[in-house]
Structure 1
Amino acid sequence: MAIQLSLPIKLNDAATFENFLVAQGDSRQLLLTLLRDQWPYGKEPIVYLWGNRGSGVSHLLQASCHAASDRGLSVQYLPLSAMLEYPPTDLLDELEQLPLVCLDDIQLAAGRRDWEEALFGLLNRMRDTGSCLLVGGNVTPRELPLMLPDLQSRLGWGPVFQLETPGDALREQVVQFRAMRRGMTLDDGVARFLVNRAARDLHGLMDCLDQLESRSLQDKRRLSIPFVKQVFGW
């Protein structure tokens, strides 16, 4: 289970490996294999994922937490977008005792010396304890505008993976896949209509799917283009 902190952190229940669509031959299969096989014995002390919003970085960080927790390991997910107002030394103290720590939005710590120094200290302590760190950012470690060169170097010690932002075709596949996982049928035409009209990122699409699932159950209607138009006023 996760360490108990009085922080506004909650893992997304849907952010699991099973809910992450990887087609046959997709280059991301290597990354998924690495992350799935990490636990309970960390094969890589640090893994760095980067990509734009909606690329799946946060999803895979949280999926790793779910998978490790399901195996009885203590984990901690820390999205820096919600953490920067807290003293970093208090947040990161003793996290090296956990088998897995996931730090999201690492780019937000760049240029903040207190955070950079605290992160550098955590990385050193985790190396000593043999714990594993999974880091998510929107650029490569080399492109982070960090004040501490040693922190930049350490963040790039392990494998670095880029996650491409999915195009329309893949977004259609993802929304159909996630609908199927919820027991709903979303045919190609409806999926294409939804992708063309909804928010461009996957987060927005999943929010739309939540609403469609709720209304479909409430109204006992199948997912069709007229029904989607009615729900969203399109």
Structure 2
Amino acid sequence: MNTPPLPKQFALDISHSPKASLENYLPGKDLALISALQNIESSWKGSSNEGSDNPLNQRWIYWWGPEGSGRTHLLNAIGNAAEHADLEHIALTASEPASWVRLEENISALAQTNTPSVITVDDVDQLDDRLVGSLFRILNAVQASKAIHIFMAGAAAPANLKLREDLRTRLGWGLVFQTQLLDDDEKIQALGEAAKARGLVLSPDVLPWLLSRFYRDMPSLMALIDALDAYSLETKRAVTLPLVRELLQPK
């Protein structure tokens, strides 16, 4: 069965999408990871950050899982939480090497302050040799720092990453979690909550039909919710199965 692509004019319109947060993430089997992140987020909201004692295992977390298991959502959520708490947040990805250079230039200053700062690193498994070296140096700086938090995500457990051994070992020094794919009932619940957050009312048959006929992974399903939201607003029609079929039919 072929899955049709989302119409570009709607799939790219995400202006109505709520920002990623821990609150709008359906944890499924990831309760331990969510609890750890919520505890850290709560510590940023308090008044005890200055001079607080943050042991390494509370601010060095790596999680891994298959595509569509929420890895990037959680990184974005913790980054958004940091920014909401007025903390400095540096997001690192394999596709933007310049941001790594800037961080390494400034990390000594960050390491000396008692005010928390947050680094997020996505797709650790896709880093090239140069960025692997950079991440190793950054982790050394975080280890020696007073209040830098670093959150990292990848496609495999540290021991199974195709990276140099010293970095694989270093990733395992902190807390390590595995993110799990949602089952169909959990997907329907998550999509229903996402639609509700957008003020979008779906007829009861829409989500089961999509899961049985079209999309299975959560990123595509969430993009489709955005597309349906935009199409419903443009056509001034409720989101029913005929409207979904109309949106997805080949042009």
Task: Please tell me the TM-score bracket, short chain as reference.
Answer: 0.7 to 0.9
CA shift for structure 1 position 16: 1.5
> In the alignment, is the contact (CA less than 8 A) between 2:63 and 2:153 conserved in 1?
yes
Number of residues paired by the alignment? 215
Give the number of the structure with larger relative contact order, counting CA–CA contacts within 8 Å between residues 6 or more apart. 2
User: Which residue matches 1:83?
Assistant: 96
Equivalent residue for 2:197, pick from 181, 188, 198? 181
Equivalent residue for 2:217, pick from 174, 182, 201? 201
> In the alignment, is the contact (CA less than 8 A) between 2:118 and 2:149 conserved in 1?
yes
Other structure's SS at 1:200 match = coil
User: Which residue matches 1:35?
Assistant: 37
Q: TM-score, normalised by structure 1?
A: 0.83
CA shift for structure 1 position 186: 2.2
Equivalent positions of 1:85-234 (< 5 A) are 86=98, 88-90=100-102, 92-95=104-107, 97=110, 99-109=117-127, 112-130=128-146, 131-147=148-164, 149-233=165-249
Q: Distance in 2 between matches of 1:106 and 1:187?
A: 39
Q: Distance in 2 between matches of 1:91 and 1:197?
A: 45
Gaps of 5+ in 2: 1-16, 111-115
Q: Distance in 2 between matches of 1:190 and 1:87?
A: 41
Pair 1:27–1:202, CA change in 2 (3 A): closer
> In the alignment, is the contact (CA less than 8 A) between 1:54 and 1:201 conserved in 2?
yes
Q: Distance in 2 between matches of 1:213 and 1:88?
A: 36
The letter for the 1-side match of 2:173 is W
> In the alignment, is the contact (CA less than 8 A) between 2:92 and 2:100 conserved in 1?
no
Q: Distance in 1 between matches of 2:105 and 2:73?
A: 25
> In the alignment, is the contact (CA less than 8 A) between 2:89 and 2:118 conserved in 1?
yes
CA shift for structure 1 position 64: 0.1
Q: Distance in 1 between matches of 2:99 and 2:75?
A: 23
Other structure's SS at 1:173 match = helix
Please list the CA deviations of residues 44-101 of structure 1 after superposition, one character each: whole Å capped at 9, or x if unmatched. Answer: 1310111111100000001001011101111111122x225x5954554324626110
Q: Which moved more, 1:33-42 or 1:45-54?
A: 33-42
Q: Distance in 1 between matches of 2:25 and 2:36?
A: 14
User: Which residue matches 2:81?
Assistant: 67
RMSD: 2.2
How high is the sequence identity, in percent, across the aligned residues? Answer: 29
Q: Distance in 1 between matches of 2:183 and 2:163?
A: 31
> In the alignment, is the contact (CA less than 8 A) between 1:47 and 1:160 conserved in 2?
yes
Pair 1:70–1:106, CA change in 2 (3 A): same
Q: Distance in 2 between matches of 1:192 and 1:201?
A: 14
Q: Distance in 1 between matches of 2:125 and 2:107?
A: 20
